[in-house]
C-alpha cells in the first residue's frame, strides 16, 4: 500500500508538471466577438490587411468575403518619392470571379475564420523566450493585430497580420 501511495504521488507530480497550453483570454474574447459578428453579418464582410515599412513603402489589400467564401481581393503597393504626396504606385490590381487568386503578389485572401486560426495556431504559438508576441483588438473587439517578431529585431519584423476596417459586406445592386 505504501508503494502504491508513492507511485500515485509521483504520477500526480508528473501530471501537474506537464506543459498546459493556455489561450490568451483576449484572443478568446475577440474570437467570441468575431463569432457574433459573423452571425450578424451572415458571414459576409470585408476587411483591409496592410503593412508599412520604415522606408515609407506601404501595401494593402481589401479582402471581401460573401457567405464565408472569398469573392474579391484588391491590392495596391506604393513607395514614397521625392515629390511630397505623390507616391510611386508599384502595383495595383483587383480580382474577382474567374480572376480570383491570379496574382502572386499581395496579401493572401483569408476569411477571418482562417485569420483567427492562423493567429491561434501559428502567430501566437511561438517561443515567448525568443519572440515578442502581440495580439490587439482595436476593431470593436475584433482582431486588429496578431503576430510575433524576434526579440531584438528593429525594423519590419512582424510575422503575422494587421487588420482594419472590418465591415459588413452588402452586395451592390446594379
Residue 10 lies in a domain: no
Q: What is the pLDDT of residue 104?
A: 85
d(CA 163, CA 166): 8
Here the cell at position 99 is 480572376
Residue 152 lies in domain = 21-168
- Is the pLDDT assigned to residue 38 strictly greater than 90? yes
In a domain, 73, yes or no: yes
Sorting pLDDT into bands at 50, 70 and 90, what band is 174?
low
3-state secondary structure at position 100: coil
Number of domains the chain contains: 1
The string of pLDDT tens digits covering residues 49-90 is 988 888 888 889 999 999 999 999 999 988 888 787 777 788
159's grid cell? 510575422
Domain contains 2? no
Question: pLDDT band at residue 10, thresholds of 50, 70 and 90?
Answer: very low
173: confidence class by pLDDT, cuts 50, 70, 90: low
Lowest mean pLDDT among 26-35, 40-49, 84-93, 109-118: 84-93
Q: What's the pLDDT score for residue 48?
A: 94
Residue 22 has pLDDT above 60, yes or no: no
What is the distance between the alpha carbons of residues 99 and 94, in angstroms, rounded to a whole number?
Answer: 9
Beta-strand (E) ranges in the chain? 45-52, 58-66, 69-79, 88-96, 131-136, 145-150, 159-168
**Whole-number pLDDT of residue 116:** 95
- Is the pLDDT assigned to residue 35 strictly greater than 60? yes
Q: What is the pTM of this model?
A: 0.78
pLDDT tens per residue, range 118-154: 999 989 889 889 998 999 998 899 999 999 999 888 8
In a domain, 16, yes or no: no
d(CA 174, CA 154): 48
b/e per residue, 81-110, with b = 16+ CB within 10 A?
Answer: eeeeeebeeeeeeebeeeeeeeeeebbebb
Residue 38 lies in a domain: yes
pLDDT of residue 44: 95
* 9 lies in some domain: no
Residue 152 lies in a domain: yes
| Strands of the 88-96 sheet, one edge to the other | 88-96, 69-79, 58-66, 45-52, 159-168, 145-150, 131-136
pLDDT in tens, 92-103: 999 998 888 888
Higher local confidence (pLDDT), 1 or 32: 32
* pLDDT number for residue 7: 44
Amino acid at each position: 500500500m505504501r508503494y502504491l501511495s508513492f507511485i500515485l504521488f509521483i504520477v500526480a507530480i508528473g501530471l501537474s508538471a506537464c506543459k498546459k497550453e493556455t489561450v490568451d483570454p483576449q484572443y478568446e474574447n475577440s474570437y467570441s466577438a468575431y463569432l457574433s459578428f459573423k452571425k450578424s453579418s451572415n458571414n459576409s464582410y470585408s476587411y483591409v490587411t496592410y503593412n508599412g515599412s520604415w522606408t515609407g513603402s506601404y501595401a494593402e489589400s481589401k479582402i471581401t468575403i460573401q457567405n464565408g467564401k472569398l469573392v474579391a481581393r484588391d491590392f495596391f503597393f506604393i513607395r514614397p518619392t521625392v515629390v511630397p504626396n505623390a507616391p510611386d504606385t508599384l502595383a495595383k490590381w483587383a480580382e474577382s470571379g474567374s480572376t480570383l487568386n491570379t496574382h502572386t503578389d499581395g496579401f493572401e485572401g483569408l476569411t477571418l475564420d482562417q485569420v483567427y486560426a492562423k493567429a491561434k495556431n501559428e502567430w501566437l504559438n511561438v517561443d515567448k523566450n525568443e519572440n515578442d508576441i502581440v495580439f490587439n483588438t482595436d476593431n470593436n473587439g475584433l482582431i486588429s493585430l496578431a503576430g510575433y517578431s524576434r526579440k531584438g529585431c528593429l525594423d519590419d519584423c512582424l510575422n503575422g497580420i494587421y487588420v482594419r476596417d472590418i465591415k459588413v459586406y452588402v452586395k451592390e445592386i446594379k
